[in-house]
């Protein structure tokens, strides 16, 4: 399992930083950059791939959370590290540009039924939708300022109090990311996606995929689609997976799985 944005941190090994700097022409781990989307995403991928290279186990499946799916592509031999690193930097840039800072964001809602939250999002004005299914204990909503204000008021009316604004600079994984999706589609069309040597769990479908052509298509869809991490873990359990290893900075995904009872 490869984590996504929010898990970024500086690595202890300077070689990881040097590798990213050589490919990108800058250090994404610098303190004034690492929490900005265009830098956080290559920082996470660099860190995760470095950890991946220290492992000698052969996984049955690969799964990444949002941008973590690009690390899965590297692990599966779909893209080279250099191709993936440049792609996620570009992805971060166009995602940030899609909605001006301050005009959208994300909320984590704790301990509520995800289906109910999705229904409530449809009942309010503005744009707001489920962005991340992070287990039954946490659902992330994404939207513009009007939508977020409206859903917070509706959640208050419903007696739902555990609502946390997330420290992100844009409303990811919703239709507001359409401009970014179109630009990323043009960029990814230039890359040669190989078939994966290991099934990769798609964030969009929560199903395994090995076709390079299909994986590219799903990565494009992923920009505006919700991350179905809950469904990914349920699928893996249903096919007999008993051990999940988080590869990257922190234990974000491990903690989500634990809260799911896994």
Contacts of 245 (CB under 8 A, 6+ apart): 1, 55, 57, 59
Angle at 49 (CA atoms; ends 214, 68), nearest 5 degrees: 45
234 and 210 within one domain: yes
The last residue of one of the domains, among 126, 148, 165, is 165
Q: Which of 6-10, 64-68, 235-239 has the weakest average pLDDT?
A: 6-10
pLDDT in tens, 80-89: 999 999 999 9
Q: How confident is the model at residue 255 (pLDDT cuts 50, 70, 90)?
A: very high
pLDDT in tens, 137-152: 899 999 999 999 999 9
- Whole-angstrom Cα distance, residue 142 to residue 161? 17
Could you tell me the CATH number of the domain that includes residue 196?
3.40.366.10
Q: Which of 92-101, 192-201, 234-243 has the weakest average pLDDT?
A: 92-101
Considering 7, 89, 173, 202, which one is annotated as catalytic?
Answer: 173
Considering 66, 169, 196, 202, which one is annotated as catalytic?
Answer: 66
Which domain range does residue 32 map to? Answer: 14-98+174-259
Q: Determine whether 238 is an active site residue.
A: no
Average pLDDT, stretch 234-240? 97
Q: Determine whether 173 is an active site residue.
A: yes
153 and 24 within one domain: no
The pTM (predicted TM-score) of the whole model is 0.95
**Through-space distance between the first and last CA atoms of the chain, rounded to whole angstroms:** 14
250 and 195 within one domain: yes
CA 125 to chain centre: 26
Nearest one of 7, 29, 5 to 16, comparing CA atoms: 29
Domain membership of residue 4 (yes or no) is no
């Amino acid at each position: 399992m490869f984590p996504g944005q929010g898990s970024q941190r500086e690595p202890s090994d300077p070689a990881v930083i040097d590798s990213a700097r050589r490919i990108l022409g800058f250090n994404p781990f610098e303190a004034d950059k690492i929490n900005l989307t265009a830098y956080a995403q290559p920082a996470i991928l660099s860190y995760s791939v470095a950890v991946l290279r220290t492992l000698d186990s052969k996984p049955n499946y690969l799964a990444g959370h949002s941008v973590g799916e690009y690390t899965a592509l590297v692990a599966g031999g779909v893209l080279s590290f250099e191709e993936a690193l440049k792609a996620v930097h570009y992805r971060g840039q166009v995602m940030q540009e899609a909605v001006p800072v301050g005009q959208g964001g994300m909320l984590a809602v704790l301990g509520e039924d995800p289906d109910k939250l999705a229904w409530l999002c449809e009942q309010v004005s503005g744009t707001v939708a489920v962005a991340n299914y992070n287990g039954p204990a946490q659902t992330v909503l994404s939207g513009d300022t009007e939508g977020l204000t409206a859903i917070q008021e509706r959640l208050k009316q419903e007696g739902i109090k555990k609502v946390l604004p997330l420290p992100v600079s844009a409303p990811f994984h919703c239709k507001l990311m359409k401009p970014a999706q179109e630009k990323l589609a043009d960029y990814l069309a230039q890359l040669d996606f190989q078939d994966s040597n290991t099934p990769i769990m798609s964030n969009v479908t929560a199903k395994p995929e090995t076709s390079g052509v299909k994986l590219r298509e799903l990565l494009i869809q992923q920009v505006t689609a919700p991350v179905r991490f809950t469904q990914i873990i349920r699928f893996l359990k249903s096919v007999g997976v008993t051990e999940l290893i988080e590869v990257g900075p922190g234990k974000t995904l491990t903690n989500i799985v634990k809260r799911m009872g896994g």
